[in-house]
A and B are shown apart, each in its own frame.
Chain A
């Protein structure tokens, strides 16, 4: 029994198809997606805009219902959002009427728990991402990168088993994006959670992931999965090595071949 749960994937996406609208206006966003996410891994969904990767992520998070097929999380069929799944979006989604700390503690309120019990952990997370001094500042007093760091603290506060990241660095500039990605990797490792990242940035996908699932444009389907063998922790200079560049080229080729 124990060995079974260890080898079973954390998430299993089984023949998931998603159609929006009906009749003439029907749009197939996702077509027969099969995918397994292994416990503890960092997996990227890489593809052009409109390939349904965000749709796939939202289905994995229980925000959207699949038209066909099923998603299994921790061995159980997933039909609605789950406490053990945390989501991050392209925008930080900080409420401007709440301070950084209050924003980080939002899930505590929603779950009906005592805020006091979570303040030390929230502060520890804020310290880890380097914005502890801004705990009482409002989001509009922070830069975009700092807001996204705060959002990361919010999602990690309850130790999610699965992190679903919908281009969380997409709205950030190149430099901020890189340091934010480092932060993501560090904290994913610290929280020992599994992560699925949606991105259209090939380098980012290869750099962050253990496996990259390459997807094709509409209707979205899985092209292939690239294994990324590099050791962790990964340093930015990895990106200049030959092996890395070769993998990026391979992914690019897959995207162009479709």
Chain B
């Protein structure tokens, strides 16, 4: 009955063997291919794909441009606001629908059908309704990310073990207590999957709606660079989105690790899961 070691990764922490090395190893290969295709062989015209050097040079120009910080801040606000709104609504609706099979039967098909409407075709409608301002972009990002959080919450809340539900019932726990103390914690790993997915779609939602029509933001900047055929600057912003996506992913991953600390270890112990 010895205590089981908590450490799930007994392997030595060797940076060279860490998965990040695979990412880093890929970088020079991509850069080399890019450089070969544009600078060396000139087989791809610069208007389609700028050379690595020109993008490198464009970085300080784009980042140092007047009011650039405001544009970044605006897009980040749209993403964060839309994500917070969409994820909250998605979570709330997931909890609501999970608690009633009548509500589920009535609204689940409808909500799922709504998800089939592409963000792009909603954008002009939203602009027509509430204008080019930041509110419309937040709404657009929220609509884009709500479904992922909603559907994962709904399915995650159904994952509580029958025995655990019976235990709560035998303690005369209310529906609400069972929800808060059992169903939501059980669903957290799945909900975090939905949050990851939702964060990505919130980014897409915000950018797409800026593309359709906006008075500011990174998507708006991209449109301006495109119309002046400044492909290199356009690519700089693509890289910025990559950075934003990475930071968002890592942030959620970090929060997940704090909240769902109990899960990964369990997954690595199939012998315990059987019991």
Q: Residues of A with Cβ closer than 8 Å to B?
A: 58, 61-63, 80-83, 85-87, 89-93, 95-97, 106-107, 109-111, 134, 137-138, 140-147, 171
Q: Residues of B with Cβ closer than 8 Å to A?
A: 1, 3-4, 6, 161, 163-164, 166-173, 177, 181-182, 185, 261-263, 265-266, 269, 272, 275
| Residues in chain A near residue B170, CB distance under 8 A | 61-63, 81, 85-87
Cross-chain contact of A145 among B1, B167, B266 (Cβ < 8 A): B1
Q: Are A146 and B181 also in contact (CB < 8 A) when A83-B172, A110-B171 are?
A: no
Instruction: Report Cα–Cα, A12/B164, bound state, in Å.
Output: 27
| Shortest 10 CB-CB contacts between residues of A and residues of B | A96-B262, A87-B170, A144-B275, A110-B171, A89-B163, A110-B173, A93-B167, A171-B275, A97-B262, A81-B170
**Does B161 lie within 8 Å of A91, measured CB to CB?**
yes
- Chain A, residue nearest B171 (CB): A110
B187 to chain A, nearest CB (A): 12
**Does A140 lie within 8 Å of B266, measured CB to CB?**
yes
| Residues in chain A near residue B262, CB distance under 8 A | 96-97, 138, 140
A-B contacts, 13 listed (Cβ < 8 Å): A81-B169, A85-B170, A87-B167, A89-B167, A90-B163, A96-B262, A97-B261, A106-B171, A106-B181, A109-B177, A110-B168, A134-B3, A140-B272
Q: Are A91 and B163 also in contact (CB < 8 A) when A63-B170, A85-B170, A110-B177 are?
A: yes
- Chain A, residue nearest B172 (CB): A81
Q: Main secondary structure on chain B at its contact with chain A?
A: helix
B102 to chain A, nearest CB (A): 21
**Does A146 lie within 8 Å of B166, measured CB to CB?**
no
- Chain A, residue nearest B2 (CB): A143
Cross-chain contact of B265 among A107, A140, A143 (Cβ < 8 A): A140
**Does A95 lie within 8 Å of B164, measured CB to CB?**
yes
| Residues in chain A near residue B269, CB distance under 8 A | 140
Q: Are A111 and B171 also in contact (CB < 8 A) when A96-B262, A140-B266, A140-B272 are?
A: yes
**Does B272 lie within 8 Å of A144, measured CB to CB?**
yes
B264 to chain A, nearest CB (A): 10
**Does B4 lie within 8 Å of A140, measured CB to CB?**
yes
| Residues in chain B near residue A144, CB distance under 8 A | 272, 275
| Residues in chain B near residue A137, CB distance under 8 A | 3
Greatest chain A CB density within 10 A among B164, B177, B262 is at: B262
Instruction: Report Cα–Cα, A90/B6, bound state, in Å.
Output: 25
Instruction: Report Cα–Cα, A138/B269, bound state, in Å.
Output: 14
Instruction: Report Cα–Cα, A258/B244, bound state, in Å.
Output: 71
| Residues in chain B near residue A81, CB distance under 8 A | 169-172
| Residues in chain A near residue B3, CB distance under 8 A | 134, 137, 141-142
| Residues in chain A near residue B261, CB distance under 8 A | 97
A8 to chain B, nearest CB (A): 24
